Amino acid sequence: MFGELWESFTDALEGLGSVVHFLFRLIVNSPRVLLRFNLISQQIFNSGALSLIIIVLSGLFVGMVLGLQGFQLLQRFGSEEALGTAATIGLVKELGPVVTALLFAGRAGTALASELGLMRATDQLSAMEMMAVDPIQRVVVPRFLGGVIAMPLLAAIFSVIGIYGAQLVGVQIMGVDSGSFWSQMRSAVSLTDVTEGIAKSFAFGVACSLIAVYQGYYATPTAEGVGRATTSTVVTSAVVILFLDYLITAAFL
Amino acid sequence: MNQRAPIIDIRNLDYAINGRPVFAGLDIQIPRGKVTAVMGPSGTGKTTLLRLITGQVLADGGEIKVAGQDMQALSRAELYVLRRRMGMLFQNGALLTDFSVFENVAFPLREHTDLTERLIRQLVLTKLQAVGLRGAAELMPAELSGGMSRRVALARAIVMDPELLIYDEPFVGLDPISLGVILRLIRRLNDTLGITSIVVSHDVQEISTVADQVFLLSGGKVVAGGTPQELKTNPTEIVKQFIGGLADGPVPFHFPAADYFGELMSRSEDL
């Protein structure tokens, strides 16, 4: 019993070590890849632009729900003008980065993991190695950097659309005064709030992209292996995102 | 460099996967400019041998020299320099599925050279013409048949003008026409480009028509070597079994198992 526990503990530690080592390899290779920015921009398109619809729609609905819930709650204290502030802080600091990252892991992360896993299973990565092209540099790093760049942009778009959604419900439907909605928001939301949101979305971007490319690159080269890599990308990303969220929130207190 | 020295010189090679020895004291020398076939029953480590020759895995012991360089001692950068002098055809072609046929063949040129677009176009079309697929340049890999994929992969393997061309099971799953095309291409490319070809296969009849020399692997060692004709007249049991395609012989029909009767009885008692 104790032996098994110890074994799974050392296994987990070993896994973490190999992820960190992989991250180190990606970082070492990044400068050279940055010189070929067209490779990265293609991946920003794949991870970012192609995730836009789901991000915009989700942002709008989350914002609208916030507007509705926030209005009902604030109305009890007669302070519905604070709706702009409440919705914005909620979105920029918390919901924007977290929900975007969860959606990003589901949309872009799974696509990355299955793409790399299939490339492994169909010998495309080995073929590159045989052509003296380093697949880490040519395939993995551009996808990783594309995700790292796309994620904060998506989170920003999510928050902006979310604020618009909250305004749509709060101001247009529930009748909160438009002037106080915006002016209270501007005076109450500080730069630190925005920085916290940016820090989170960047950290989540690194985590999600790293988990996806790691799972895909080291996937067992079978149909089942690729499936497992895709599933564990979503599961691991979700847990890591929420854990990091707690850490960063605590750090900004 | 000595042109007479073998391009691949393997001495006393040991290699094990998960503690199970694949090669124990393997010796093999592959001469330049010839088509050499490496044959053997499934699971004798033919593909593993290719992975060792190309430096995808490292040997546990012994020496592997490719074009005079010791594979065990090469750094990653040196290995990549050496690999530019090799071309490899994978079993399924391993084309990059995101790129068209043209871009697949152009890929090594774009990665390794600064040639102008015009020159890349000319080189790619020349190589595609050599494998008879210039007309398919704009197709995507998913639109190709198995035989066509392999020919495109072959064009890609020769686009950097390698000295050594390695084929991993090039005939698996091909119809007779595609198979004939690949066979002729192996011979023609070897002779016209003046390269060395290594073909790993277990298709005895097919390979006998193109190979200058054949090595038969079994049990982690070379059990026979020579021209295809010499192999056909080889009296050794294992060679006779392999060349004749006999179901039972030194390579047993049955996977090692417990006593048949005993196992049947024990199962029925358990139920």
pLDDT level of residue B146 (50, 70, 90 thresholds): confident
For residue B216, what pLDDT is reported? 87
Flag whether residue A134 sits within 8 Å of chain B, measured between CB atoms: yes
Q: Mean pLDDT, to the nearest integer, of B115-137?
A: 92
Q: Mean pLDDT, to the nearest integer, of B241-268?
A: 77
3-state secondary structure of A30: helix
Contact in structure between B151 and B179 (CB atoms under 8 Å):
no
**Residue B199: what residue type?**
V
CA contacts within 13 A on the Cβ side of A192: 6
CA distance B20 to B234: 29
Q: Mean pLDDT, to the nearest integer, of B95-99?
A: 92
List, for residues A15-62, the tens digit of each pLDDT value: 899 999 999 999 999 999 999 999 999 999 999 999 999 999 999 999
CA distance B52 to B58: 6
Q: Which residue of B has its CA nearest to A36?
A: B111
- Who among A126, A132, A138 is closest to B90 (CB)? A126
Residue B80 to residue A134, Cβ atoms within 8 A: yes
The Cα-based distances of B147 to B25, B97, B177, B178, B247 in angstroms read 36, 16, 9, 5, 29
Where is pLDDT greater, at B121 or B208? B121
**What's the mean per-residue pLDDT of chain A?**
93
Using alpha carbons, select from A202, A216, A201 the residue that is nearest to residue A143.
A216
List, for residues B24-33, the tens digit of each pLDDT value: 888 889 999 8
Highest mean pLDDT among A24-28, B14-18, B234-238: A24-28
- Residue B77 structure tokens: 């950068």
For residue B5, what pLDDT is reported? 80
Q: Which residue of A has its CA nearest to B161?
A: A131
- Who among B56, B81, B111 is closest to A126 (CB)? B56
CA distance B165 to B157: 7
Partners of B224 in beta bridges = B216
- Is pLDDT of B1 > 80? no
- Residue B134 structure tokens: 């210039």
- Who among B83, B91, B95 is closest to A132 (CB)? B83
Chain B hits for A132, CB-CB cut-off 8 Å, are: 80-81, 83-84, 108, 111-112
For residue B247, what pLDDT is reported? 75
pLDDT level of residue B177 (50, 70, 90 thresholds): confident
Contact in structure between A117 and A233 (CB atoms under 8 Å):
no
CA distance B146 to B96: 14
For residue B270, what pLDDT is reported? 56
**What's the mean per-residue pLDDT of chain B?**
86
Interface test with B, best of A36, A116, A123, A126 (most B CBs within 10 A): A123
Cβ neighbours of residue B68 under 8 Å, at least 6 residues apart?
Answer: B1, B2, B5
pLDDT level of residue A109 (50, 70, 90 thresholds): very high
Where is pLDDT greater, at B224 or B166? B166
Flag whether residue A131 sits within 8 Å of chain B, measured between CB atoms: yes
Give the number of beta-carbon pairs within 8 Å between A and B.
Answer: 51
Partners of B222 in beta bridges = B217
Flag whether residue A130 sits within 8 Å of chain B, measured between CB atoms: yes
Chain B hits for A25, CB-CB cut-off 8 Å, are: none
**Beta pairing class for B20-30 and B35-39:** unpaired
Residue A123 to residue B92, Cβ atoms within 8 A: yes
**Residue A50: what residue type?**
L
Q: Mean pLDDT, to the nearest integer, of A91-102?
A: 95
| DSSP label of B255 | P
Residue A123 to residue B83, Cβ atoms within 8 A: no
Residue A132 to residue B80, Cβ atoms within 8 A: yes
Q: Which residue of A has its CA nearest to B110?
A: A133
What count of residues does chain B have?
A: 271
Q: What is the ipTM of this complex?
A: 0.82
Q: How many CB atoms lie within 10 A of CB B227?
A: 12
pLDDT level of residue B2 (50, 70, 90 thresholds): low
* CA Rg value for chain B: 21
List, for residues A141-170, the tens digit of each pLDDT value: 999 999 999 999 999 999 999 999 999 999
Q: At what angle do helices B101-112 and B146-158 cross, to 10 degrees?
A: 20
| DSSP label of A202 | H
Using alpha carbons, select from B187, B227, B213 the residue that is nearest to residue B6.
B213
| pLDDT over 70 percentage in chain B | 97
CA distance A189 to B241: 82
CA distance A165 to A83: 12
For residue B269, what pLDDT is reported? 55
Chain B hits for A134, CB-CB cut-off 8 Å, are: 80
Contact in structure between A87 and A63 (CB atoms under 8 Å):
yes
What count of residues does chain A have?
A: 253
Flag whether residue A35 sits within 8 Å of chain B, measured between CB atoms: no
Report chain A's terminal Cα–Cα distance, integer Å.
40
For residue B248, what pLDDT is reported? 74
List, for residues A55-89, the tens digit of each pLDDT value: 999 999 999 999 999 999 999 998 888 999 999 99
| pLDDT over 90 percentage in chain B | 29
Q: Which residue of A has its CA nearest to B53?
A: A130
- pTM (2 d.p.): 0.86
Chain B hits for A133, CB-CB cut-off 8 Å, are: 107-108, 111-112
CA distance B243 to B233: 10
Q: Mean pLDDT, to the nearest integer, of B96-115?
A: 93
Contact in structure between B28 and B222 (CB atoms under 8 Å):
yes
- Who among A119, A126, A131 is closest to B108 (CB)? A131
Q: Range with the lowest mean pLDDT among A67-76, A157-166, B9-18, B107-116?
A: B9-18
For residue A54, what pLDDT is reported? 94
Interface test with B, best of A131, A134, A139 (most B CBs within 10 A): A131
pLDDT level of residue B257 (50, 70, 90 thresholds): confident
CA contacts within 13 A on the Cβ side of A206: 13
* CA Rg value for chain A: 21
For residue A38, what pLDDT is reported? 92
Q: A175 burial class (0-12, 13-18, 19+ CB within 10 angstroms)?
A: exposed
List, for residues A194-225, the tens digit of each pLDDT value: 999 999 999 999 999 999 999 999 999 999 99
Residue A132 to residue B95, Cβ atoms within 8 A: no
For residue A63, what pLDDT is reported? 95
For residue B26, what pLDDT is reported? 87
- Who among B84, B94, B97 is closest to A132 (CB)? B84
